[in-house]
Structure 1
Amino acid sequence: MSGFDRLHPALQHHIVNSLGWPRLRPLQEATIEPVLRGEHAILLAPTAGGKTEAACFPVLSRMLSENWDGISVLYLCPIKALLNNLLPRFEYYAGLLGRRVALWHGDVSASREAKIVAEPPDILLTTPESLEAMLVSSRIDHRWLLGQVRSVIVDEVHAFAGDDRGWHLLSLVERIQGLTGQEIQRLGLSATVGNPEALCDWLAGSCQARRSVINPLAEGAKPSDVQLDWVGSLKSAAIVISRLHRGEKRLVFVDSRSRVELLAMELRGLGVNTFVSHSSLSLEERKAAETAFAEGSDCVIVATSTLELGIDVGDLDRVIQVDAPFSVSSFLQRIGRTRRRADVARNCLFLATTEEAFLRSIGLLALWRAGFVEPIEPPALPLHIYAQQIMALCLQERGIIQADIDRWIGKMPGFERIEPEQCSAVLRYMLETGILHSDGGLLGIGDRGERTFGYQHFMELVSVFTTPPMVKVFHGRQELGEVHELTFAVGDTDSPALLTLGGRN
């Protein structure tokens, strides 16, 4: 019996008749049985390799077969743009089966959030920061809203695991598991990771269910077409891009916002239909550019790493890398963007503008050809995340006794490695400095904690990273995006600073 044959009959019907798929891809077929058995797993495949459906289909099958109710699936992504991009696909798949999907992140309106709380969907697409906001909110009954979660899917799991957001994410899953009273299935999706078994253990933590790395051989993969050329300057790179592969859709990666804008201006000056995408642009500007590019044919989109992850910009013909990324993992993410069409081999043209970038490109490609991918190493000793989680638990539970801290988050892998004396020292410091206070052994937020973190319902607590001071940029009444305040530092000269954003000066 194949994996497909084990899916719920309604899902089988829609895969064949509504989606028109003659068969599942190898990863999708291989994932079904482990997920139906409740295993924790890491799913590995190149970009556009069908990872989303590989996780989604068996989880939907379990939802139907086991009559899951309420928010039973959490789908977590590192960036809001990826969630926005995935929403229509999830709505379609779930809608075929009579199930509902909702989106919750920082750009979602308060009225939309209120509707989600009043009428919980079956699948919630969100970020760790938004999950934290739900758990600490005094206006949300988190036990009712999240107490029926059965599965958590983490997209681009490698993007979390290597920094503090990964420990934060795992702490949240532990706390939600505490609300449900049962083990939550954990699935991680990635295109690039050098130590998948270790990553699977990191994700599963102290869970008892079996864990698997699912990484079948890709079917009929064509050899990758990778070339390296020396151009010497950004202007020369623009000339090469304008003359090569005319009539095709080209995604160009550049290492900074300023160089994205400069290259885009050069390309437009050469008559190339050019769009830009980077994190400084407003959501509306980026969406308009990415949509226009996805619907175009003979055009170029110049981007930073914002388009490295699985955001859909349609069928690409070419990936061009100006200079070199700083990891094989990043390169694999980028070259994988050309795998959406069966007739297109993975391809990437490196255009080096400096000697350093040329040498780095040679080294990176040598590592790639040798099969090397960087291992993911979570940060050691996350004491600051431990302190944040104690404060979050005080808000979530409206007060907590010290003995219960370990029950909620003590089994999270990052905290398990902290010596008990160190945990006690963190708690003691928080009490001595007034960040926390104790009322007969019941811990709560202290005066200093209120003053430092209490602004806007403790919004400072929901994130484990901070953003620098940003300045909004307008062209007339149209908001183009945000840039760092130091962008306008012009030294002693009286001349105004020239800013290029979204192709406008």
Structure 2
Amino acid sequence: MSEFALLSEPIRRYINDKRWGAFRPIQSAAIKRILGTEDNYILVSRTASGKTEAAFLPILSKVDFKEPGVQVLYVSPLIALINDQFVRVEDLCRYIDVSITRWHGEANQAAKKKLLKQPEGVLLITPESIESLFTNHPEHARALFSRLKFIVIDEIHTFLGSDRGMHLRSLLSRINDLAADKKPRIVGLSATVGDYEEPKRFTGDPAHTKVLIDPTAKGINARFKYFKQEDEYTPQFIEELYNQVKDSKVLIFPNTRGNAEEIAVKLKRVSERKKGHPYFFSHHSAVDKELREYVEDFAKTNKRNNFCIACTSTLELGIDIGTVETVIQVDATHSIASLIQRVGRSGRREGHESQLLLYATEHWSTLQSFACWELFKEQFVEPVYSQEKPYDLMFHQTLSILKETNGLGRQALLQRLQNNPVFSRFSAAEIDSLLDYMIKSEYIEDLRRELIVGAEGEKLTTSRDFYSMFMSAVMLKVIHAGVTIGELELTPWLEVNDNILLSAKIWKIADIDLKAKKIFVIPANDGKKPVFTSGSGDVHPRIRQKMMELLNADLNRDEADDSAIDSVNEIKLLFKDFRLDHLSAVRPAIVKHKEIDIYTFTGTKINETLFFLIKTLHIAAELEDRKSRLRVFDNSINLNELVANLRHQLLNIKMHVSTLFENGEDGFRLSKWAVYLPVELKVEYVLQNSFDIPGTTAFLEGLQLATPILAETIVK
């Protein structure tokens, strides 16, 4: 029987009305498997390959929506993605006369109330709204989640290995606990999954979870260029960019919000001077929601006009913005997964190649760009890492469960936590120890027969910040002439008369009202340099290894122009006296007048672990992770002894971290909920998350630091 014949009659009518010529490969596979088995599925295929329909065509055909209750739950990492997918799924649901409802902080309240009166159909929601329902309205959570047949998780890769992902896994387990009949089946959607076991574990039932992969690759025309920059983008570089974007529909991905704003503003000025089109925008999390939605809608509905959007990861995910002809990446992405998502935004129409232009503004960025591209072609995607024992999440979920149940017996609470797959590695003694601490600290109150939320816990559970895993920065609304144009994080550098970049314009700060959390601005025209801050992500060791590998390879001149080749050759000159072999444990050390530069060619977290260990030896040093370089400010150090001492210090790293916490000098970044843990568990959190101890152990094993003099004799 054909896939088409397996679908319900209304869904077949939908397909005929849309005049589909054929199913995409992922759709054919998903229809047969979802309708023919009772397993969970992870659907993996490139961007714009029809994954949403691959999930919903069989699900809507299989589910009997005449049964009471919400039948299908769609979980998204972004409100914007919910709003986007709502339109697509609503069109489908109209054919089977099924209601579809959005549930998030910005959704229609009347539609929510209607759903609570009569739970039915399809519900689109974020993890934070699920948490809010469990915490504040457990009766609503039971009404909405107890009869689910399917849970669709969009962009599931964004949840893997993150605090937010572990939170969602815990919430899925709690939804299962509400099931009136069988547990709902899970269908995850992703364009980028490296480790297929991790998404299977994510469902809570890996034995009954299958991964469907469409390996069809889309043609990509990639080009590499190098254009040296200093503190800000030069007029020559902006002119170069303008010539690339003026006649097409383009997304530009710099790696920070500030760089996105700078590019958008400067391109718009060039276009005004040259009488070009006016459609230059910025798009990132600090731009006001309505302005972001305007940009998305313009890109999606505009057919005739060219446009250019300088953006960050806000446009990496599957929000439909229509036809994009070219993606420009300015400086290397920090991950292959991010590069895959960004490349996939262009060439979405059948028969069109994706166009990718990679500009580097610094030599190490050129080398990393090549490394990421080579690994992309090798189909490498970074494996994700999840905490084995997320004490911070257990702290949070313990309070949430007690709030949901209005109190539980200690044994019943212990059982619920142990039954949750996220906490499966915890012993009963470890959970009991945390509960004792929470009681002692008044996060929990022990009424002998049951545990309830305590006085300190009440302060946390009644806060609007309780529903999420991410730290909420203090944000100030930016207002011009009564109109909100975006928001900026409160930082020490924000001062009156400073210029800021926001929404592709330069503004002067006229006033800051900290009490009202507002910044009042006027257009700036004084030429004063604007300010903006934002950060970057961790780089996987495999990328750095590939960078070292490329130092011994010839680059593809069909993809790179002379500027890019010459840029990488500059780094090759730095190591001309070394015979680097990426498979060996030898790393170059360059002795200078007062310091030694050690090039580790390994990942960010291993570099940070090594840097911490060096500091425990009371050696003055600095880390420049972008170059994978540790600089030791003492050129008399014996390198063999240094490696031996680092191995020894690694064995005692827990003691060193504990000492810093005890002395109040830790300086470690803790998660939102880890700050409430006892000191010994804060130490465990740091060891699991701030460092890569297994990776550093493997890196130090056999490590030899070679100077130019020794390089020839050590490396065979």
Partner of 1:46: 46
Partner of 1:27: 26
Distance 2:68 2:21 in 1: 31
Query: Residues 453 and 395 (structure 1 numbering): CA distance in 2 closer, same or farther, change over 3 Å?
Result: closer
Q: Secondary structure at the match of 2:319?
A: coil
- Kindly provide the CA deviation profile for residues 180-222 of structure 1, in whole angstroms up to 9, marking residues without a partner as x: 14222011111011112x12321222476x221101342xx55
- Kindly provide the CA deviation profile for residues 84-116 of structure 1, in whole angstroms up to 9, marking residues without a partner as x: 111111111111110011111122254443333
Cα distance, 1:67 vs structure 2:
4.4
Distance 2:396 2:347 in 1: 41
Cα distance, 1:411 vs structure 2:
3.3
Q: Secondary structure at the match of 1:379?
A: coil
Partner of 2:491: 486
Distance 1:293 1:54 in 2: 25
Question: How many percent identity over aligned positions?
Answer: 29
1:421 is the counterpart of 2:426: no
Partner of 1:292: 298
Partner of 2:281: 275
Distance 2:90 2:417 in 1: 33
Partner of 1:438: 446
2:366 is matched with which residue: 358, 362, 373? 358
Partner of 2:170: 171
1:454 is matched with which residue: 459, 462, 468? 462
Cα distance, 1:269 vs structure 2:
1.0
Contact 1:471 1:484 in 2 (8 A): yes
Partner of 1:496: 497
Amino acid at match of 2:477: K
Q: Secondary structure at the match of 1:270?
A: helix
Cα distance, 1:140 vs structure 2:
4.4
Contact 1:42 1:187 in 2 (8 A): yes
Partner of 2:260: 260
Query: Residues 3 and 412 (structure 1 numbering): CA distance in 2 closer, same or farther, change over 3 Å?
Result: farther
Distance 1:129 1:384 in 2: 16
Partner of 1:159: 158
Partner of 1:145: 144
Cα distance, 1:169 vs structure 2:
0.5
Cα distance, 1:406 vs structure 2:
4.9
- Kindly provide the CA deviation profile for residues 257-306 of structure 1, in whole angstroms up to 9, marking residues without a partner as x: 11111101111011153011100011101011222233333111110110
Partner of 1:215: 213
Contact 2:474 2:490 in 1 (8 A): yes
Partner of 2:574: none
1:382 is the counterpart of 2:387: no
Distance 1:497 1:14 in 2: 55
2:329 is matched with which residue: 321, 327, 337? 321
Query: Residues 151 and 11 (structure 1 numbering): CA distance in 2 closer, same or farther, change over 3 Å?
Result: same
Distance 2:497 2:307 in 1: 33
Distance 1:446 1:128 in 2: 25
Distance 1:338 1:15 in 2: 25
1:230 is the counterpart of 2:235: no
Q: Secondary structure at the match of 2:356?
A: strand
Distance 1:115 1:281 in 2: 32
Cα distance, 1:367 vs structure 2:
1.6
- Kindly provide the CA deviation profile for residues 46-89 of structure 1, in whole angstroms up to 9, marking residues without a partner as x: 1111111111111111114x744321111111111111111111
Distance 1:367 1:139 in 2: 46
Cα distance, 1:403 vs structure 2:
2.6
- Kindly provide the CA deviation profile for residues 220-248 of structure 1, in whole angstroms up to 9, marking residues without a partner as x: x5531111101223334422221125431
Distance 2:120 2:283 in 1: 31
> Residues 101-140 of structure 1 correspond to what in structure 2 (within 5 A)?
101-138=100-137, 140=139
Query: Residues 118 and 305 (structure 1 numbering): CA distance in 2 closer, same or farther, change over 3 Å?
Result: same
Q: Secondary structure at the match of 2:63?
A: helix
Distance 2:131 2:295 in 1: 31
Distance 1:132 1:222 in 2: 38
Query: Residues 107 and 350 (structure 1 numbering): CA distance in 2 closer, same or farther, change over 3 Å?
Result: same
Amino acid at match of 1:356: W
Contact 1:76 1:152 in 2 (8 A): yes
Distance 1:377 1:339 in 2: 32
Cα distance, 1:454 vs structure 2:
2.4
Amino acid at match of 2:19: G
Distance 2:492 2:375 in 1: 36
Distance 1:464 1:375 in 2: 22
Partner of 2:524: none
Q: Secondary structure at the match of 1:108?
A: coil
Unpaired segments of 5 or more residues in structure 2? 272-276, 508-716
Amino acid at match of 2:501: T
Q: Secondary structure at the match of 2:419?
A: coil
Structure number with greater Rg is 2
Contact 1:48 1:339 in 2 (8 A): no
Amino acid at match of 1:15: I
Query: How high is the TM-score relative to the length of structure 1?
Result: 0.93
Contact 1:102 1:121 in 2 (8 A): no
Contact 2:330 2:358 in 1 (8 A): yes
Cα distance, 1:407 vs structure 2:
4.6
Distance 2:13 2:460 in 1: 55
Query: Residues 23 and 453 (structure 1 numbering): CA distance in 2 closer, same or farther, change over 3 Å?
Result: same
Query: Residues 414 and 146 (structure 1 numbering): CA distance in 2 closer, same or farther, change over 3 Å?
Result: closer
Contact 2:465 2:472 in 1 (8 A): no
Count of residue pairs brought into register by the alignment? 492
Distance 2:218 2:146 in 1: 46
Contact 1:275 1:293 in 2 (8 A): no
Contact 2:260 2:311 in 1 (8 A): yes
Query: Residues 452 and 14 (structure 1 numbering): CA distance in 2 closer, same or farther, change over 3 Å?
Result: closer
1:464 is the counterpart of 2:469: yes
Query: Residues 361 and 57 (structure 1 numbering): CA distance in 2 closer, same or farther, change over 3 Å?
Result: same
Distance 2:298 2:407 in 1: 50
Cα distance, 1:487 vs structure 2:
6.6
Amino acid at match of 1:264: A
RMSD: 1.9
1:343 is the counterpart of 2:351: yes
Contact 1:136 1:395 in 2 (8 A): yes
Distance 1:88 1:484 in 2: 32
Contact 1:200 1:212 in 2 (8 A): no
Query: Residues 3 and 199 (structure 1 numbering): CA distance in 2 closer, same or farther, change over 3 Å?
Result: farther
Distance 1:21 1:406 in 2: 52
1:303 is matched with which residue: 300, 306, 311? 311
Partner of 2:10: 10
Query: Residues 255 and 154 (structure 1 numbering): CA distance in 2 closer, same or farther, change over 3 Å?
Result: same
1:243 is the counterpart of 2:251: no
Q: Secondary structure at the match of 2:158?
A: helix
Partner of 2:663: none
Amino acid at match of 1:285: L
- Kindly provide the CA deviation profile for residues 157-177 of structure 1, in whole angstroms up to 9, marking residues without a partner as x: 111112111111111111111
Partner of 1:392: 400
Distance 1:110 1:488 in 2: 39
Query: How high is the TM-score relative to the length of structure 2?
Result: 0.66
Amino acid at match of 1:324: A
Query: Residues 281 and 361 (structure 1 numbering): CA distance in 2 closer, same or farther, change over 3 Å?
Result: same
Amino acid at match of 1:253: F
